[in-house]
Amino acid sequence: KAGVTQTPRYLIKTRGQQVTLSCSPISGHRSVSWYQQTPGQGLQFLFEYFSETQRNKGNFPGRFSGRQFSNSRSEMNVSTLELGDSALYLCASSLEGSLNQPQHFGDGTRLSIL
Amino acid sequence: KQEVTQIPAALSVPEGENLVLNCSFTDSAIYNLQWFRQDPGKGLTSLLLIQSSQREQTSGRLNASLDKSSGRSTLYIAASQPGDSATYLCAVITYQAGTALIFGKGTTLSVSS
């Protein structure tokens, strides 16, 4: 069974631009969560989608948004990029989004802002 | 607000040693606790998940325990190998935050041959 796939693996953008990251969950998984990982703050929760609906949201500004499609694939968008948005963005999927199921992570998208 | 702390931040051991990684959390109202491994430049690999009603879980050379009342978990690695070198992260899901994993900063383990 294929794992969680994130594309692209690497991105370089400049301040003020916008970016879209993609995540394909494990087949059959309906919940997709997004996390930001930086050396200073560690891993922080961005949001979770389940059945095309945002079910939970972390403490990030409105520049960070996402969506989920009917096939459970998810995209994350960041507008008006800032230098501090440089990070590894990780996507995780789980079967039903149940609170008692493990989350499975992709290898992430490394975003660098110049 | 839930805070997760992992001590030590880094650990170096010779091959073959048994070792313990520590994780503590401030709010005991958790659904579960999960241990992950992260290799450099990679995503997270789930190692063990302990439900809030469980005391421990085992997988191969790994054993994780959970003491909810004291807000502590340990990950025991038996007979360490160089291939165990990685960063180990613990994360909890709490009643308050719902589906969000709240992570510690991790312990970076180096096992020398």
CA distance A88 to A38: 7
Amino acid at A37: Q
- At residue A98, the pLDDT reads 63
**Distance in Å, alpha carbon of A25 to nearest chain B alpha carbon:** 14
- Residue in chain B closest to A99 (alpha carbons) equals B99
Chain A residues with CB-CB distance to B32 below 8 A: 99-100
Best residue in A100, A101, A109, A112 to probe B by mutation, most B CBs within 10 Å? Answer: A100
- At residue B96, the pLDDT reads 79
Strands A104-105 and B4-7: unpaired
Is residue A110 scored above 90 in pLDDT?
yes
% pLDDT > 90, chain B: 84
Contact B98, A54 (CB under 8 A): no
Note the Cα A47 to chain centre separation in Å. 8
> Average per-residue pLDDT in chain B?
94
Q: How confident is the model at residue A90 (pLDDT cuts 50, 70, 90)?
A: very high
Question: Rounded mean pLDDT of B46-66?
Answer: 95
Is residue A14 scored above 70 in pLDDT?
yes
Show the 3-state SS of A83-110: HHHCEEEEEEEECCCCCCCCCEECCCEE
